[in-house]
Amino acid sequence: MSGPGPAAWGRLRRVSAIVWIAALSLAAWLWLLLCQGFFWRTDVRLPPGDDPGVWPPVCVVVPARDEAAVLPASLPSLLAQDYPGRAEVFLVDDGSTDGTGELARALAREHGGLPLTVGSPGEPPAGWTGKLWAVRHGIGLARARGPEFLLLTDADIAHAPDSLRTLVAAAGTGGFDMVSQMARLRVESRWERLVVPAFVYFFAQLYPFRRIGRAGTATAAAAGGCVLLRAEAAERARVPDAIRQAVIDDVALARAVKGSGAASGWVSPTGWTACAPTRASTTCGGWCPAAPTPNCGTVRRCWRGRWPGSRWSTWCRRWRWWRGRPRGARRRRRPAGSPGW
């Protein structure tokens, strides 16, 4: 009796390939589902915090460069913090050309609230990014006040009135040296609704929230827009000197702090948040290497302003030109010299 012919063997090989592909796909999905810290679950929250008997002193450090467009919405939210203890805001003007420092002083005179100090660090020396040099200058000013906690936040983040109180209570109750809360990212346009959720879940896949807050794990991350850090832990971790060349400085900060033996906390970005971005900025970096202040900590639409000649920008212009044509003419080729390319 003859064995299977060449055609049968070919079909068997095709079936075997499909089975292997299906098995590998199933294994990959099972690994993501069960072995990656359950990153797809969005129920991680700040631990419930009890009000301490004595509220510790806090200094807020805000690096800012050319942020005059958003300061009227963001800075008053910091000055109006409902914090029972002593708190002070240090805004570091990182070489702005739009009057950021002067506007900050005017807003402080108009709104009152927490004391505001505006400083300028000058040009960063070799080996420092602009933002971290500004953070270093702000931390130096703050340490003269003897704070127990430092709140590192961005100039385009608007805080809820109880943001500082909630973060300090969570850090004290949970015994955390660092508590970082991701800002509620703006999702107004169609592209933002498409990109932002994917970014958040991708970030959670790289740095599962449950592993970040667990002692004894190597996973460490933070959201640069809102980081409450114990001053003693910052000094022990040599922050920001130890990460002065980091582009993704919030993750580098968390690694330095956790590597020094501190306990860190994290909150999911999906529920209520203490911080919320006020706009999509074009002055951030990290995403855009040409920007002056690297890595502002939130998702922003940098590509339009920073990559005008990129392939993405070119396809966007083509898409807008195509959408603007009459429906019946979309199948025809674009005449030579037509605008929008």
Distance between CA 19 and CA 23 in Å, rounded? 6
Distance between CA 260 and CA 253 in Å, rounded? 11
* CA-angle at 120, arms to 114 and 123, nearest 5°: 155
Instruction: Say what the pLDDT of residue 329 is.
Output: 53
Q: Whole-model pTM above 0.85?
A: no
Instruction: Say what the pLDDT of residue 294 is.
Output: 29
Instruction: Say what the pLDDT of residue 204 is.
Output: 87
For residue 264, list its beta bridge partners. 178
Distance between CA 209 and CA 29 in Å, rounded? 19
Instruction: Say what the pLDDT of residue 8 is.
Output: 61
Instruction: Say what the pLDDT of residue 279 is.
Output: 40
Instruction: Say what the pLDDT of residue 247 is.
Output: 85
Per-residue pLDDT of the chain (341 residues; tens, 9 = 90+): 555 556 665 666 677 888 888 989 999 999 988 988 888 887 777 777 889 999 999 999 999 999 999 999 999 999 999 999 999 999 999 999 999 999 999 999 999 999 999 999 999 999 999 999 999 999 999 999 999 999 999 999 999 999 999 999 989 988 889 998 888 877 778 888 888 888 888 888 888 888 887 777 788 888 888 999 999 999 999 999 999 988 889 899 988 988 887 666 654 443 333 344 444 333 222 222 222 332 333 333 333 333 334 444 455 556 655 656 555 554 544 444 444 33
Instruction: Say what the pLDDT of residue 201 is.
Output: 86
Handedness of CA 108, 114, 120, 126 (dihedral sign): negative
Distance between CA 94 and CA 119 in Å, rounded? 9
Instruction: Say what the pLDDT of residue 323 is.
Output: 59
Place of tokens 């498409």: 194
Sequence-distant (6+) residues with CB within 8 A of 335 are none
In the chain, what are the domain boundaries?
58-277, 305-326+336-341
Instruction: Say what the pLDDT of residue 211 is.
Output: 84
What does CATH list as the number for 58-277? 3.90.550.10
Instruction: Say what the pLDDT of residue 63 is.
Output: 97
